[in-house]
Structure 1
Amino acid sequence: MDIVILGLSLASSWGNGHATTFRALIKGLAAEGHRVLFLEREVPWYAGDNRDLPDPDFCELVFYHSLDEVEQRHGDRLRAADAVIVGSYVPEGADLIDRLAKMDLKRLCFYDIDTPVTMDLLDQGEEAHLARRQVPVFDMYFSFSGGRVLDRLSERYGARAPRALFCSVDESRYSRVDVPMKWDMGYLGTYSDDRQPGLEALMLEPARRLPHMKFVVAGAQYPEGIDWPDNVERIEHLPPSEHAAFYSAQRFTLNITRVAMRRLGWSPSVRLFEAAAVGTPILSDRWQGLSELLPEGKAIVIADGTEDAVAALTGEDGTAPEALAAEARRIVLADHTGRARARDLVRMLHDCPERESLSEEEETA
């Protein structure tokens, strides 16, 4: 298939989880023999030193500066593509979608890598990236969240064909690295107000209670004033090229989920799959659907508070971290690689009939 994706970023992983998600998926598509053009809006915060994949070898990456440029420079390619997929949080996304909807495209789809957050924004009337009226426009609405989220997309927002398309991992980049063990637990994630209480309960307070252990938090945009315990190391930004070594140097890695995603469930982050592929035991907050993806007590430790985290770190809960990590790795390498996800996407696109061609008057209206 010939696919065009207009996403937040492929070239820069700074401060976002979209880039690694797109990279695994598109690399999987290339391995399956498909062709992808990724169109990325040129913005200063994803440029310069923050651009860690400026020239991918698995797809064509082109930057654009305006929506007019998208139509004028890439219109023919968009019309010829088997599918055009818009990602969540694309700059001027709502205006972009309106323009694409008027073009004679074969399939117009949306890939929401933030679905519960998107729905909260729509409920609040915030429509810069996606307008509520646009949800029914898409031939397929791919969501990184599954479960009842899909029912809500259909019943409340009018999505015609909502489908789960979870994040995935590029297993060729995420495998065990022979590095010294440095930390008892680590966390990788950009700062978020609604994740911070989880970080406090599941890492910072355990760090205070276990001063002989070592912890690390890697991620950007953490504000001044956070009370970091002395045994918690901070890394401002960790590029994807260093993720596998980072996970390999931890006894446990921590997964924390945003409130909107935890409330609706079935929202596995890419960090879960990355850590599992590396073979690092995972400790996570609880949400519906997690134990169906990674069985609790067999492939993951699910902690409801500080006491559970301390028990796992000290071994008082009786779990065998190595066995947990091995089972999680087996599951992820079987079902959640970029190539597996690419097959999911292509199968769903083949099930979606092409649009009827617009008349010249409709296309220019």
Structure 2
Amino acid sequence: MKIAFYGSSLLSSYWNGAATYYRGILRNLASRGWDVTFYEPDAFDRQKHRDIDPPHWAKVVVYPATVEAMRSVLSEARFADVVVKANGVGVFDKELLEGIVENSASHALRIFWDVDAAATLDEMRADPAHPVTAALPALDMVLTYGGGPPVVDAYHAFGAKLCVPIYNALDASTHHPVPPDARFSADLAFLGNRLPDREARVEEFFLKPAALLPDRAFLIGGNGWETKAMPGNVRHRGHVYTAEHNAFNVTPRAVLNVARDSMAHVGFSPATRVFEAAGASACLITDAWEGIEQFLKPDEEVLVARDGQDVADHLAELTPERAEAIGRAALARVLASHTYELRGVEVDRLLRDALARRRQAA
């Protein structure tokens, strides 16, 4: 069976935090017999910053960011059994969503896969004519990157037939313990792009502790921070490629996760970085959000901070031995409960059951 997936990028994580999520889910579906084609536009310099070559488990179609090319790749939706439009492509998002409805075969499942559900729902509340709201009657299901019951209830209230969170997870073949790398040496490191709905939380949870602990070394990686005023004990690394994530996570005393505003408000939305850090056996400090216990146990597998002062306190008390113990416990937890193999089982069953019901009804 064939999947046509229209997303931001499978090949590049440049300004595209969902890349490892797509890779983990789709590679596992391919191992279960799905024929995957991923359509991504040549936009935002992502093709100049590829993390991987086109993989053997998926066909990747990179198309020019033009109307003609977009229409051309949409025409191929008619050959698929499952047609997916992910949010956040960055170009032609409205047209792509409308296009999968118009171009998919009558027997196909039409899916909107929302990797930023809390923000999308805020947009839908503010705009009664939002493209996602308009498309919901024609979609078979909405899958989300996370969000738990609040996101599921909200999507059902907007008219979604079915909404299922598919949480991100660990791809142990990509993210795993490695030897430390002096380039990433620090007491606390944070990796994330500079975004409007994240910046204030980075100021509170990362830059404030840096100011409170001037004798400690802090490292920030990601795009956009080069123009941000920071304390003198903070180094900016710039874009960190996926192949460098393990060393970035395992080398510092601890690494920090900071949720975006909308995800922190809704909860049940662990960032990809949570599982990447745990997979590298890193000691993770995260800002507090509802539902974290579903993924990692506070004080044993993760340290939770309510504000920047809490981060500073955790860091001041954190010995190398305790950091190592927390990292080991986190790795064991995610290997047991939060791998893309387990997520793949879930999605595979969901899609096959839905297609079987469609065939039975026909």
Per-residue CA deviations over 1:198-229 (Å, capped at 9, x if unaligned) read 222222222222222211000102262x3311
In structure 2, the partner of 1:296 is: 298
1:245-324 superposed matches below 5 A = 245-315=247-317, 320-324=322-326
Q: From the two aligned structures, give the one with the greater helix fraction.
A: 2
Looking at structure 1, the residues matched to 203 and 285 of structure 2 have their Cα atoms a distance apart, in angstroms, of: 14
Kindly state the Cα deviation for residue 244 of structure 1 after the two structures are TM-superposed: 0.6
Equivalent residues of 1:41, 1:64 under 8 A apart: yes
Kindly state the Cα deviation for residue 11 of structure 1 after the two structures are TM-superposed: 1.8
Give the 3 Å change call, closer, same or farther, for CA 174–312 of structure 1 in structure 2.
Answer: same
In structure 2, the partner of 1:141 is: 142
Give the aligned residue type for 1:4. Answer: A
In structure 1, the partner of 2:37 is: 37
In structure 2, the partner of 1:359 is: none
> Percent identity, aligned pairs only?
28
**Once structures 1 and 2 are overlaid, which stretch shifts more, 28-37 or 83-92?**
28-37
Give the 3 Å change call, closer, same or farther, for CA 36–315 of structure 1 in structure 2.
Answer: same
Among 195, 200, 210, the alignment partner of 1:197 is 200
In structure 2, the partner of 1:362 is: none
In structure 1, the partner of 2:21 is: 21
Per-residue CA deviations over 1:248-276 (Å, capped at 9, x if unaligned) read 11111100011111111111110001000
Looking at structure 1, the residues matched to 304 and 43 of structure 2 have their Cα atoms a distance apart, in angstroms, of: 38
Equivalent residues of 1:186, 1:253 under 8 A apart: yes
1:47-196 superposed matches below 5 A = 47-48=47-48, 50-65=49-64, 66=66, 68-69=68-69, 72=72, 75=75, 78-90=77-89, 91-103=91-103, 104-105=105-106, 106-125=108-127, 130-145=131-146, 146-155=148-157, 157-180=158-181, 182-196=185-199
Structure 2 residue 212 is the aligned partner of structure 1 residue 213: no
Give the aligned residue type for 2:205. Answer: L
Greater RCO (CA < 8 Å, at least 6 residues apart): 1
Looking at structure 2, the residues matched to 345 and 193 of structure 1 have their Cα atoms a distance apart, in angstroms, of: 32
The gaps in structure 2 that reach 5 residues or longer are: none
Looking at structure 2, the residues matched to 57 and 235 of structure 1 have their Cα atoms a distance apart, in angstroms, of: 31
Kindly state the Cα deviation for residue 319 of structure 1 after the two structures are TM-superposed: 9.8
Looking at structure 2, the residues matched to 2 and 304 of structure 1 have their Cα atoms a distance apart, in angstroms, of: 45
Looking at structure 2, the residues matched to 319 and 147 of structure 1 have their Cα atoms a distance apart, in angstroms, of: 37
Equivalent residues of 2:121, 2:154 under 8 A apart: no
Looking at structure 2, the residues matched to 341 and 261 of structure 1 have their Cα atoms a distance apart, in angstroms, of: 20
1:215-254 superposed matches below 5 A = 215-222=218-225, 224=227, 226-254=228-256
Tell me the number of residue pairs that the alignment of Structure 1 and Structure 2 aligns: 352
Looking at structure 1, the residues matched to 128 and 238 of structure 2 have their Cα atoms a distance apart, in angstroms, of: 30
RMSD between aligned alpha carbons?
Answer: 2.4
Kindly state the Cα deviation for residue 71 of structure 1 after the two structures are TM-superposed: 5.3
The gaps in structure 1 that reach 5 residues or longer are: 357-365
Give the 3 Å change call, closer, same or farther, for CA 352–300 of structure 1 in structure 2.
Answer: same
Equivalent residues of 2:39, 2:73 under 8 A apart: no
Give the aligned residue type for 2:235. Answer: E
Looking at structure 1, the residues matched to 344 and 18 of structure 2 have their Cα atoms a distance apart, in angstroms, of: 16
* TM-score using structure 2 length: 0.90
Give the aligned residue type for 2:307. Answer: G
Give the aligned residue type for 1:19. Answer: A
Secondary structure of 2:253's aligned partner: strand
Give the 3 Å change call, closer, same or farther, for CA 67–140 of structure 1 in structure 2.
Answer: farther
Equivalent residues of 1:28, 1:339 under 8 A apart: yes
Per-residue CA deviations over 1:169-202 (Å, capped at 9, x if unaligned) read 3211111111256111100000023322222222
Secondary structure of 1:194's aligned partner: helix
Equivalent residues of 1:150, 1:164 under 8 A apart: yes
Kindly state the Cα deviation for residue 60 of structure 1 after the two structures are TM-superposed: 0.6
Give the 3 Å change call, closer, same or farther, for CA 291–29 of structure 1 in structure 2.
Answer: same
Kindly state the Cα deviation for residue 100 of structure 1 after the two structures are TM-superposed: 2.0
Per-residue CA deviations over 1:134-163 (Å, capped at 9, x if unaligned) read 1232111001122221011101x1111000
Q: Which portions of structure 1, spanning 4 or more consecutive aligned residues, are displaced by more than 6 angstroms?
A: 316-319
* TM-score using structure 1 length: 0.89
In structure 2, the partner of 1:12 is: 12
Secondary structure of 1:183's aligned partner: coil
Equivalent residues of 1:87, 1:112 under 8 A apart: yes
**Once structures 1 and 2 are overlaid, which stretch shifts more, 132-141 or 249-258?**
132-141
Equivalent residues of 2:220, 2:235 under 8 A apart: yes
